[in-house]
Amino acid sequence: MKVLYFDGNGAAKIPEGTMDTQDLVAWSKMKPEWVWNEEQRIKDLCKWGQKYGVNGFVSEIMICNFTSHMEVVSFLNLESIRIGSDRPYLPEDPDSMHHVFELLHSTSWRENYPGETRIMLDFSGLVSFYDTALVPSLVPRRVGLDRWDHRVAGISPEDIERVQDRLAQALARPPTTTSGIDWKTVLRVVVDRYASRLEFIQHLLNLSLDDGSIFDHAQQIQRQLRTVLLPYTVFAALPPNTSVTANATNSWAAPVFRECAASHAASIAYRGTTLTPSERLLLQAVRETTHEICRVVTKMWASGMNFGVDAFYPPERHPEVDHIHTLIGEWKEDVTQLISWLDWSVWVKCRPACGFEVTKSSYLFMK
C-alpha cells in the first residue's frame, strides 16, 4: 500500500500552519479558511494521488478507497461518545471532559521516537521544506523564529513548483533505485549518542557554585566532554609538550575533531553508493550536524586541557579561580548555542516531568 506521509502536526486542524503542506499538495496554495473542509481535502488529495498510485495519506489516517489494498478484519457497530463539532469550547461535564483527555492521551503515545511503527517510512523519498536548495524562499522567513513558528506560508511560486516536481519524482521512482541504507537508524544514532550527554553537560553548567568547589566541578564537566570524544581521541592529540596554559591554541586537537566529525557518515561516503536527491540531503544533514557538534565539543574539551582542569593531565598547580570562571562561562555559551542550533525534539519536555494528576488536569482545564 502506497501512502504519502505528512510530517509534523497535520492532524491538529488549526489555522496557524499545520495544514500548509497538505494544502500545497491538494490545491498548490494554502487555504487556511478551508482548515475544517475535510471532505474536500481528502477528495482532492486522492484525485492528485491517482496518477502516482497513492492509496492514502497519513497525518491522520486518510484512505482513498477502502475496497483497494484493504482487508476487513472486523465490522462492528460501536457506541459513539463523539463530541459535537459545533461546540465553540471544550465541554464541562465530566464524561465529555474525560473523553477529550483520552483523545489527547492516545495521540501522545506516538509523539516521541520511534513514532508510528506500523507505518514504514521510505526516507529515500523525503521531500523537506528545510532543504535550502529546494526551497530557498523560506530561509529568510525563518530567521529569528522559534521552530514552533516556522511555516510554509510565504513560499514562492517557483519553490512550490520545484517541491511538486521533486515529490512527483519520488513517487514515480522504482523502489529498486534506492541505496538500501537504513536512514532512520543513521539519523537516530546521532541523536542517541549526543542528546543526553549535551543535556547533562548543560545541566552541570547551570549549577550555582562557590569558589571552593568550582575546580572540582570544572573537572567533572571536563570528564563528560572527554567521554563524548573518547571514541575519537587519538593518542597523539596532546597539547605541545603536555603544557597547559589558558592562552594555548586548540590546533593540536584537530585530529580528534576530524575523526569525530567524519565517523558517522564515513561508511556511506566510502561505499560510493548512488544516492537519491533525498538521500543526499540526509547525508548532508548528518555531516553538517556532526561537524557542528564535534567542533563545539572538541573546542570545549581542548580548552579544558589548556586551562588545566583535565584530571588525566593535571597541571603542577590549580588554575586561578577567575580563569576557571572564565572557562565555565565560555563553555556555557558554547553549549547553549549548540543546543539552540540543534533544536532536537527530544529536549522538548517539562522539567521536571509532570505527574499524572498535573498532566490530566492541564488537559481538562484548558479552554
265-296 pLDDT, tens per residue?
888 877 666 888 899 999 999 999 999 999 99
Query: Do residues 321 and 243 share a domain?
Result: yes
Is the predicted pLDDT of residue 70 greater than 70, yes or no? yes
Q: What's the CA gap between 214 and 204, in Å, rounded?
A: 11
Domain membership of residue 290 as a residue range? 183-347
**Of 198-202, 272-276, 344-348, the least confident:** 272-276
Query: Do residues 209 and 69 share a domain?
Result: no
Q: Is residue 259 part of a domain?
A: yes
Dihedral (CA of 298, 301, 304, 306) sign: negative
Q: Is residue 102 part of a domain?
A: no
β-partners of residue 5 are 58
Query: Do residues 138 and 280 share a domain?
Result: no
CA angle 212/213/217 to nearest 5° reads 150
Q: Is residue 342 part of a domain?
A: yes
Query: Do residues 125 and 61 share a domain?
Result: yes
Band of residue 204 on the pLDDT scale cut at 50, 70, 90: very high
**Of 10-19, 157-166, 208-217, the least confident:** 10-19
- Identity of the amino acid at 4: L
For residue 165, the tally of other CB atoms under 10 A from its CB is 12
Q: Between the CA of residue 43 and those of 17, 64, 226, what are the distances in Å?
A: 20, 8, 56
pLDDT in tens, 220-231: 999 999 999 999
Query: Do residues 228 and 317 share a domain?
Result: yes
In this prediction, residues 34-58 reach a mean pLDDT of 92
Q: What's the CA gap between 314 and 328, in Å, rounded?
A: 18
Counted domains in the chain: 2
Q: Is residue 100 part of a domain?
A: no
> DSSP strand E in 33-165: where?
56-58, 61-63
Query: Do residues 18 and 150 share a domain?
Result: yes
How much is the CA Rg of the chain, to the nearest whole Å? 26
Query: Do residues 319 and 197 share a domain?
Result: yes
Q: What's the CA gap between 16 and 150, in Å, rounded?
A: 10
Within 13 A of 78's CA, how many CA atoms are on the CB side?
A: 6
Q: Is residue 304 part of a domain?
A: yes
Q: Decide: 7 and 16 in contact? Cβ < 8 Å.
A: no
Is the predicted pLDDT of residue 310 greater than 70, yes or no? yes
Q: Is residue 97 part of a domain?
A: no
**pLDDT at 27 (0 to 100):** 94
**pLDDT at 203 (0 to 100):** 96
Q: What's the CA gap between 109 and 115, in Å, rounded?
A: 8
Band of residue 360 on the pLDDT scale cut at 50, 70, 90: low
pLDDT in tens, 85-109: 555 455 567 777 777 777 777 777 7
Q: Is residue 116 part of a domain?
A: yes
Calculated CA dihedral for residues 348, 350, 355, 360, nearest 10 degrees: -70
**pLDDT at 92 (0 to 100):** 67
Band of residue 186 on the pLDDT scale cut at 50, 70, 90: very high
Query: Do residues 207 and 273 share a domain?
Result: yes
pLDDT in tens, 229-274: 999 998 887 777 645 555 567 889 999 999 999 998 888 877 666 8
**pLDDT at 88 (0 to 100):** 47
Q: Is residue 211 part of a domain?
A: yes
